[in-house]
Chain A
Amino acid sequence: MAISDVKEYTHLTPEEVDQIGRELDQIRADIEESRGAADAAYINRMIRIQRGLAAGGRAALAYGSWSKKGRRPAVVAGTAMLGLAKILENMEIGHNVMHGQWDWMNDPEIHSSNWEWDTAQPAEQWKHSHNYVHHQFTNVLGYDNDIGYGVLRMAREQRWHPVYLGQPIYNALLATLFQWGVALHDLDLERIRKGEKDPREMKRQLKQIGRKIRRQIGKDYLVYPALGGPGWLLTIKANAAANLARNLWSYMIIFCGHFPDGAMHFTEEEIQDETREEWYLRQILGAANFEGGPLLHILSGNLGFQIEHHLFPDLPSNRYAEISERVRALCEKYDIPYTTGPLHRQYGQALRTIMKLSLPNHLTKSDDPAPPEPPRDRRRKSDAERPARRTELGGWSRTSSHYAESDRGHN
């Protein structure tokens, strides 16, 4: 069984699949060829705006916490600017830089190898769990840990358990505490619970997370409040509000990427001997776009072009809009489903799935036809069991090797 047996693809001949692959390769080549000064100016402008918002927001909050006059508008404006800055940093800048979308500029200050983002998860672990595990194995059960993030049951193929009755609550918690959920994501709690995780690797990751969290919490909840003097409590509240806004927003955008109706799940059997062309097809069928204006797309890190992002994770995000026109035309030509809709509808569908799948399958009806369900090993895979990474997903390397780590321990 291969992806060619998935119902949505059975009408394609092998020659057509190859042709689709060539056409998508051509889109990549055209964009790579035309990357230039205007793209570099775009990301630099975005970074300037984001840092300006962050600095302006902090300044407004400082003013608000020291001065009685005009406190309210200053705090409201400061919180909004800070929240916006965090959203921009995580979505349009951090996520995309860490994919290697801007590595071509050869600028070490905007490079996937050393970008660190303003959230609790260390960049290195994000690049592993996201660039590799999620992007290469998109929506493959047992391989892609992003299906429900180990907390939610998001596919009918996942076995039901009474614990999923609490799913609406878990969902609300995940949305509120999203950055902390993401921080623990690469640890893979499921494998830890089953005792399958290498304890040395776990210790290394925990240390890394601890270091990052100390700095993040120190900044928002100790240092700035301390500088806020009489308004320290106000500062804590404002910073928490900015973080919460970022959590809710990024949670919603991310849930619109793979959980609306029409975004399919795949099985281990379907990715056996998968060719590059088939990988492309799986990305189209496993992702969902949403529609909106340029500002919405920038604030969502251009993830409204989730399909294009999954086809070309390392091409600059400002080009996804023009890529989407070509991808959509290609999908129409070959009768391949292209899932998109307004943001509220896409998120509404994801939310409906969360509610429905909290119950056993026989109590609810599927909203999209599920692929046939052969018996399978439901266990979470380790890297050793996953195929080696693809190169176009954005790099991921560890800061130090095991022996270097232990050397340092002796000092």
Chain B
Amino acid sequence: MPVKDAVRTVPWERVRSLGARLTTPLHPDDYLSLVNPLWSSRELRGRVEKVVPETDDAATLVIRPGWGWHYNHRPGQYVGIGVQVEGRFQWRSYSVSSAPTRSGRTIAITVRAMPEGLLSSHLVGGLEPGTIVRLALPEGDFVLPDPPPPRMLFLVGGSGVTPVMAMLRTLDRRGSMPDVVMHYSSPTPERMIFRDELAALADRHDGFTLHSLHTDLDGMLDLADLDQICPDWRERETWACGPGPMLDAVEEHWEAAGIEKQLHLERFTLQLGGDGGEGGTITFRNSGKNIEADGATTVLEAGEQAGVGMPFGCRMGICHTCTLTLVSGKVKDLRNGDEFGQPNEPVQTCITAPVGDCTFDI
């Protein structure tokens, strides 16, 4: 059908850039989003469709993304979500817990409220369906390979279950569950997110074995016990996600066995490309602190090490929360190598590293 073809081959980018001739200096989306907030690809947006309580302190947000979203996230990746709290956008990253589907129109993220976490509590307890949030495209290399390896091990602690859940759902949906062992630690049975769904998966798939550990009752997992829980762990491709200390212990254990190549960790940190800066001494003028930093360490990380109360948000160059004034010196954007060094230039500290000595106004 020629008509249908014509519809399918409408070059939307061309149409948009022609439209921009009418709306310059704004973008057509700046007007369209006033009609429907999701009709904009300038900043990715989403509408919260449902808030599903998972446990007392965790909830799954089902979000319908707007224009510009591609539903091709890889199972295990995380997305940035920006929510306006008291007029100010706060950004965090959360793993997508839904499986990627081409036909799907929503994504799900599962969030646990942290006692000191302003945003996570807001997301779990205070978010009304219908709220418009900002989104950042999926990122992260803690993903399920395609095809999956024949033998897999998941080591999960607490809300670290979410990226793994996306992987399990994908395997379940494709009906290609290989030999999977999962060890899931949670303080109590009540706080165990996806408890019922995991039990159902274990019933349905012979290849899937679930070990649950309730650390309030039985204590933390001793990695030495792995030999009993999963005797062939050395032969398995392993994904671990959970609290920092747990991941440190896992990493050490795998290194000791000399098989760290088979281990995938999720730490929610930014992967930076580029060659890095050359490093230097960063001086934090107002707090009177300074620290030596190498060219691969971001100004934000260095400031935190020096004990400066650095502002931060997404830690990946999206949200501009971390922007500080560079009083003197030069920094390099680790994503693309751009250098910034005008006196008193505002720079994003989470994606820049020092090139020589520099001074910040904080």
Residues of A in contact with B (beta carbons under 8 Å apart): 35-41, 48, 51-52, 55, 58, 103-109, 111, 113, 116-118, 212, 215-216, 218-219, 223-224, 227, 388-391, 395, 397-398, 400-401, 404
Contact = CB atoms under 8 A, between A and B. Distances in A.
B141 interface: no
Of the candidates A58, A105, A216, A390, the one having the most CB atoms from chain B within 10 angstroms of its own CB is A105
A51 B361 CA distance: 37
B346 A219 contact: no
A248 B131 CA distance: 41
B22 A106 contact: no
Nearest to A218: B21
Given A51-B31, A109-B42, A113-B320, A37 B21 contact: no
B34 interface: yes
A395 B345 CA distance: 7
Given A106-B321, A218-B21, A397 B87 contact: no
8 contacts: A37-B86, A37-B87, A40-B87, A106-B319, A109-B42, A401-B339, A401-B340, A404-B338
A391 B21 contact: no
A41 B86 CA distance: 10
A48 B26 CA distance: 13
B346 A105 contact: no
Interface in B68-101: 82, 84, 86-91
Interface of B: 21-22, 24-26, 30-31, 34, 42-43, 82, 84, 86-91, 313, 318-321, 323, 325, 327, 338-340, 342-346, 361
Contacts of A219: 21-22, 24
B43 A108 contact: yes
B21 A106 contact: no
A379 B88 CA distance: 44
- A-B pairs with lowest CB-CB distance, top 6: A40-B87, A116-B25, A388-B343, A106-B89, A395-B346, A215-B24
B88 A117 contact: no
Contacts of B319: 106, 108
Contacts of B25: 116-118, 212, 215-216
A68 B166 CA distance: 61
B289 to A, nearest CB: 18
Of the candidates A35, A227, A395, A400, the one having the most CB atoms from chain B within 10 angstroms of its own CB is A395
B338 A400 contact: yes
Given A36-B86, A113-B320, A113-B346, A391 B340 contact: no
B34 A388 contact: no
A111 B342 contact: no
B87 A35 contact: yes
A117 B361 CA distance: 29
B88 A104 contact: yes
B166 to A, nearest CB: 27
B340 A397 contact: yes
A107 B34 contact: no
A391 B361 contact: yes
Given A40-B87, A106-B88, A113-B320, A391 B344 contact: yes
A52 B338 contact: no
B87 A108 contact: no
A275 to B, nearest CB: 16
A336 to B, nearest CB: 28
Nearest to A227: B22
Contact of B21 (A41, A55, A103, A223): A223
A111 B338 contact: no
Contacts of A223: 21-22
Given A108-B320, A223-B22, A397-B345, A40 B84 contact: yes
Contacts of A215: 21, 24-25
A124 B30 CA distance: 20
A391 B43 contact: no
A51 B30 CA distance: 8
Contacts of B34: 48, 51-52
A398 to B, nearest CB: 7
B41 to A, nearest CB: 12
Nearest to B361: A391
Contact of B320 (A52, A111, A388, A391): A111
A107 B313 CA distance: 12
Contacts of A398: 342
A117 B30 CA distance: 13
Of the candidates B87, B327, B339, B361, the one having the most CB atoms from chain A within 10 angstroms of its own CB is B87
A36 B84 CA distance: 10
A58 B23 CA distance: 10
B361 A36 contact: no
B338 A390 contact: no
Nearest to A94: B25
A41 B165 CA distance: 38
Contacts of B346: 113, 395, 397
Contacts of B340: 397, 401
Contacts of B325: 391
Given A40-B87, A113-B346, A389-B343, A106 B31 contact: no
Contacts of A113: 320, 346
Nearest to B337: A404
Of the candidates A58, A106, A216, the one having the most CB atoms from chain B within 10 angstroms of its own CB is A106
Given A391-B361, A401-B339, A106 B24 contact: no
A400 B336 CA distance: 12
Nearest to A389: B344
A219 B22 CA distance: 6
A212 B340 CA distance: 24
A287 B89 CA distance: 34
A107 B90 CA distance: 9
Given A118-B25, A219-B24, A388 B87 contact: no
B324 to A, nearest CB: 9
A111 B26 CA distance: 13
